[in-house]
């Protein structure tokens, strides 16, 4: 009976997440409850301690968030956004897909969906509206690109999958790079095609705000957010640089030092922002990973993982489908794919070989699917932000992205999940 009690607890957990109860509390409580029911409560606490001290996860995720805080302090992120916006504004015939792919690329360097949508949306949404594009489409064009973070070395999912598979973060990202880029193009093109069909790509009259166009871009400031990404890729792909020790934390600290030198910001303020960001990352991101680990331990103790493995072994594609549309559905309904994706990757992804898949392939598929779902969710923070900038209902934004994100999820499953 224990596995079926576990099924009931999982259902209640999903319900609580969808009702937007505190995610860490929900996952931790569910995991502890399952461990208690199986008469192994200390297993939950042991997993809690283990997840708290996972050096690979903590060092990578916290350092990336620290760097992100420094970019915000020095306004290097704004210079990057405005630099890209100036190029996008010149591409009038393909303005909608160009905006989506520009957001996609910026989201790799600025991996927070909400933060990226705020920074990019404030600049590009007025540009699109001034070009006659419907406000909801303008907002959707930005929202559609906010899953570029799947390819960010600071993504908690990429770091977790890499740690689980015993590979570098760059190698984990490489396993889903082509699929993610294809999904980005699908979302961008579908949105543009639908806008043309609905005649929303022209004719809108908007008041032009000259403030954005008056922003003076410093190219050196704009390049700083990209430097750590370039160093990571070079360190993983160039043979002569593989022994340089270009880890994620090292690259983020190098980027921070470069920001300090280029912008000449007060060193004390830079230091404070970096460590504030690290603390925020531990509380918000690592906190969810810790709670998801306890949840996965509870699933294991009640025998639900064994039940799932026995049922799915031999059914090639079944786990790939679960890893695609499970996290995606929860993300659509809750506005966040993190809880479902992290729980899936903690509980199921380690057994990927049982289903003819690799850990990076399955784990990164779940990450991509959760991000696709968030990009068409009307309750996601990023959707609410861009809708506010465009002064439209978030549902109007989400429904314009839905066809492209759904098609992209099918393609992602076909490329990664079978």
Q: How many folded domains does the chain comprise? A: 1
Q: Is the per-residue pLDDT at 32 higher than 60? A: yes
Query: What average pLDDT does range 237-257 have in this prediction?
Result: 90
Q: Are 135 and 204 a contacting pair, CB within 8 Å?
A: yes
Residues 58 and 54: their CA atoms lie apart, in Å, by 6
Residues 304 and 43: their CA atoms lie apart, in Å, by 15
97-130 burial: b if 16+ Cβ within 10 Å, else e: bbbbbbbbbbbbbbbbbebbbbbbbbbbbbbbbb
Range ranked top by mean pLDDT from 112-126, 154-168, 238-252, 253-267: 253-267
User: What is the sign of the dihedral through the CA atoms of 395, 398, 403 and 409?
Assistant: negative
pLDDT digits (tens, 9 = 90+) for 381-415: 999 999 999 999 999 999 999 999 999 999 999 99
| pLDDT score of 387 | 93
Give the residue numbers spanning the domain of 186.
2-417
Residues 310 and 354: their CA atoms lie apart, in Å, by 10
Whole-number percent of the chain with pLDDT over 70: 96
Q: What angle do CA 360, 361, 365 make, to 5 degrees?
A: 110
Q: Which of 25, 105, 38, 111 is nearest to 71 (CA)?
A: 111
Residue 335: which pLDDT band, with cuts at 50, 70 and 90? confident
| pLDDT score of 193 | 96
What average pLDDT is seen over the chain?
A: 90
Query: Cα–chain-centroid distance for residue 382?
Result: 11
Query: What average pLDDT does range 88-95 have in this prediction?
Result: 84
Residues 98 and 190: their CA atoms lie apart, in Å, by 12
User: What is the sign of the dihedral through the CA atoms of 154, 155, 157 and 162?
Assistant: negative
Query: What average pLDDT does range 117-136 have in this prediction?
Result: 90
Residues 326 and 173: their CA atoms lie apart, in Å, by 21
Q: Are 298 and 34 a contacting pair, CB within 8 Å?
A: yes
pLDDT digits (tens, 9 = 90+) for 276-317: 999 999 998 899 889 988 998 998 899 887 777 676 655 667
What is the total residue count of the chain? Answer: 418
pTM: 0.84
């Amino acid at each position: 009976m224990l596995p079926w009690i576990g099924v009931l607890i999982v259902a209640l957990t999903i319900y609580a997440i969808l009702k937007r109860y505190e995610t860490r509390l929900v996952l931790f409580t569910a995991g502890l409850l399952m461990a208690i029911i199986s008469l192994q409560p200390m297993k939950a606490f042991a997993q809690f301690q283990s997840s708290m001290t996972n050096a690979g996860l903590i060092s990578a995720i916290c350092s990336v968030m620290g760097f992100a805080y420094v970019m915000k302090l020095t306004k290097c992120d704004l210079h990057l956004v405005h630099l890209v916006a100036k190029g996008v504004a010149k591409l009038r015939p393909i303005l909608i897909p160009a905006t989506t792919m520009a957001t996609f690329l910026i989201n790799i360097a600025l991996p927070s969906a909400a933060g990226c949508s705020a920074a990019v949306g404030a600049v590009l949404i007025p540009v699109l509206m001034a070009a006659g594009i419907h406000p909801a489409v303008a907002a959707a064009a930005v929202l559609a690109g906010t899953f570029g973070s799947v390819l960010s070395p600071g993504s908690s999912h990429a770091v977790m999958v890499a740690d689980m598979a015993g590979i570098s973060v760059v190698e984990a990202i490489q396993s889903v790079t082509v699929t993610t880029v294809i999904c980005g193009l699908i979302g961008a093109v579908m949105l543009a095609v639908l806008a043309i069909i609905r005649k929303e790509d022209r004719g809108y009259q908007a008041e032009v705000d000259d403030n954005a166009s008056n922003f003076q871009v410093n190219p050196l400031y704009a390049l700083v957010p990209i430097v750590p990404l370039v160093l990571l890729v070079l360190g993983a792909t160039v043979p002569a640089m593989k022994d340089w020790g270009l880890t994620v934390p090292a690259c983020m600290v190098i980027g921070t030092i470069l920001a300090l030198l280029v912008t000449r910001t007060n060193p004390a303020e830079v230091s404070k922002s970096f460590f504030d960001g690290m603390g925020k990352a531990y509380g918000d991101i690592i906190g969810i990973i810790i709670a998801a680990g306890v949840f996965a331990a509870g699933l294991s103790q009640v025998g639900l993982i064994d039940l799932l493995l026995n049922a799915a072994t031999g059914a090639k594609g079944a786990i790939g489908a679960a890893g695609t549309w499970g996290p995606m559905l929860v993300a659509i309904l809750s506005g966040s794919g993190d809880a479902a994706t992290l729980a899936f990757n903690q509980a199921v992804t380690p057994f990927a070989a049982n289903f003819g898949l690799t850990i990076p392939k399955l784990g990164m598929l779940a990450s991509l699917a959760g991000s696709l779902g968030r990009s068409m969710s009307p309750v996601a923070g990023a959707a609410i932000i861009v809708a506010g900038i465009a002064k439209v209902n978030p549902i109007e934004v989400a429904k314009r992205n839905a066809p492209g994100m759904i098609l992209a999820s099918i393609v992602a499953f076909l490329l990664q999940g079978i």
